[in-house]
């Protein structure tokens, strides 16, 4: 409700249209890199997992 009140107070044009042309979104964090937790190997061989970064790349939208 606070966001809607703020938007109505700061956007007279949008209020006149009834907010028909406005797309509302929420904030989200996106992981830009993904790492599988399994590796393919032949039977009887040792797994060779690839190193993963401690802090993968993230973007906040």
Q: Is the pLDDT of residue 14 over 70?
A: no
Q: Could you give the CA distance from residue 26 to residue 6 in angstroms, rounded to a whole number? A: 15
Of residues 10 and 6, more confidence is placed in: 6
Strand ranges for the chain from DSSP E: 29-31, 58-60
- Spell out the residues 6+ positions from residue 15 whose beta carbon is closer than 8 angstroms to its own: 8
Longest dimension (CA), the chain: 71
* pLDDT confidence of residue 58: 76
pLDDT digits (tens, 9 = 90+) for 24-58: 677 777 777 766 677 778 888 887 777 777 777 77
């Amino acid at each position: 409700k606070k966001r809607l009140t703020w938007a109505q107070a700061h956007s007279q044009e949008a209020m006149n249209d009834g907010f028909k042309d406005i797309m509302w979104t929420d904030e989200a964090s996106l992981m830009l890199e993904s790492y599988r937790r399994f590796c393919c190997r032949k039977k009887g061989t040792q797994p060779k997992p690839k190193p993963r970064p401690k802090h993968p790349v993230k973007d906040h939208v």
